[in-house]
């Protein structure tokens, strides 16, 4: 694996591959890697000649300074893991390489209601920062395909909208959520859970799984109310549990309204904010 910190070095390397008609798959991450991230790399390896992974903890998408400061950073272990799955290139740019003085990286795109609901409501500005960095990193790598996880369902929906608005030819590939054996969605933030909350956090995926079984028996509103109650244990603070159309991300009143219904939730488990989702109907 080759490590680059500078854009021009990365581009020198990739330009020669591209002129040899090699396909480039790109997996952007914020590091603290786990098997969920590695599943994206494996998928990209299957489909491309060269896989580029980036590790960059993007300050512009954190609306909470403590969250940014406490975000786990495990570079040495990440490098080992990336090497073990055959990653070809690792891009680890410093902040000034991603946002150099004099380069306007802001994006004038309109995500409409996609960015106002759920994460958009509880993390103001998050998606503007996320789209800004994904666009910037994509411009640095200029891949053929971009691999992102269903784990961040609203994020990938917004990236899809961004690529459409930019008339990009990049193929966006959504990879399924990797879970621990007990069902907890893998997340870099899980290492910050207390052992007790880590056990309790299983409740999030269990609630989503039960919600899926209730589709034929209850209305979305009833499922949502039941789920918020289920997740409202003293150790947790559920922020939202929404049942949305998987394309528009707008809440549905009746399961017959869509053939792609997704339940999305965010829960504070102590000081750690966890998100998860499940397709209820597709």
Q: Is 151 an interacting residue with respect to ligand AMP (CB under 6 A)?
A: yes
Q: Burial-class residue 65 by CB neighbours within 10 Å (0-12, 13-18, 19+).
A: exposed
Spell out, one character per residue from 40 to 59, where the chain touches ligand AMP: x when CB under 6 A holds, - when not. Answer: x-------------------
Residue count, binding to ligand AMP (CB under 6 A): 17
Q: Does 29 bind ligand AMP (CB under 6 A)?
A: yes
CB neighbours (10 Å) of residue 87? 23
Q: Which residues contact 103 (CB under 8 A, 6 or more apart)?
A: none
E strands present in the chain: 2-4, 24-29, 50-55, 89-91, 145-149, 171-175, 236-245, 261-269, 272-281
H/E segment holding residue 270: none
Q: Collect all residues with Cβ–Cβ distance below 8 Å to 58 and sequence separation of at least 6.
A: 30, 98, 129, 130, 133
Q: Please confirm, yes or no, whether 144 is among the known catalytic residues.
A: no
Structure tokens that stand for 194 in this block:
């207390």
Nearer to ligand AMP, 185 or 231 (CB): 185
Task: Give min distance, CB of 102 to ligand AMP, in A.
Answer: 27
Q: Is 30 in the site for ligand AMP (CB under 6 A)?
A: yes
- Residue 148 in contact with ligand AMP, rule: CB under 6 A: yes
37 binds ligand AMP (CB under 6 A): yes
For the window 183-222, what string marks contact with ligand AMP as x by the rule CB under 6 A?
A: --xxxx----------------------------------
Contact pick of 38, 39, 60, 264 for ligand AMP (by CB under 6 A): 39
For ligand AMP, which is the closer residue by CB, 152 or 239?
152
Helix (H) or strand (E) holding 131: helix 126-141
Examine residue 175 and tell whether it contacts ligand AMP (CB under 6 A): yes
Name the residues annotated as catalytic: 37
């Amino acid at each position: 694996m080759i490590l680059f910190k500078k854009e021009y070095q990365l581009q020198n390397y990739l330009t020669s591959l591209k002129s040899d008609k090699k396909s480039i798959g790109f997996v952007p991450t914020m590091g603290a890697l786990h098997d969920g991230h590695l599943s994206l790399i494996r998928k990209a390896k299957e489909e491309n000649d060269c896989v580029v992974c980036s590790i960059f903890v993007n300050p512009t998408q954190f609306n909470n300074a403590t969250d940014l400061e406490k975000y786990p950073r495990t570079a040495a272990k990440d490098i080992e893991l990336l090497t073990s799955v055959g990653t070809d290139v690792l891009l680890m740019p410093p902040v000034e390489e991603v946002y150099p003085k004099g380069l306007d990286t802001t994006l004038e795109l309109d995500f409409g209601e996609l960015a106002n609901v759920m994460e958009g409501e509880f993390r103001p500005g998050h998606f503007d920062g996320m789209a800004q960095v994904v666009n910037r990193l994509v411009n640095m790598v200029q891949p053929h395909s971009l691999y992102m996880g269903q784990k961040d369902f609203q994020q990938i929906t917004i990236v899809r909208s961004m690529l459409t608005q930019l008339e990009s030819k990049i193929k966006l590939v959504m990879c399924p959520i990797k879970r621990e054996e007990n069902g907890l969605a893998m997340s870099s933030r899980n290492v910050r859970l207390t052992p007790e909350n880590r056990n309790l956090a299983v409740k999030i995926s269990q609630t989503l799984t039960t919600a899926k079984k209730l589709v034929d028996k209850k209305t979305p509103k009833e499922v949502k109310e039941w789920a918020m109650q289920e997740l409202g244990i003293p150790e947790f603070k559920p922020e939202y549990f929404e049942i949305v159309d998987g394309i528009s991300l707008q809440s549905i009143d009746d399961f017959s309204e869509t053939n792609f219904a997704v339940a999305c939730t965010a829960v504070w488990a102590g000081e750690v904010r966890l998100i998860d989702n499940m397709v209820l109907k597709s």
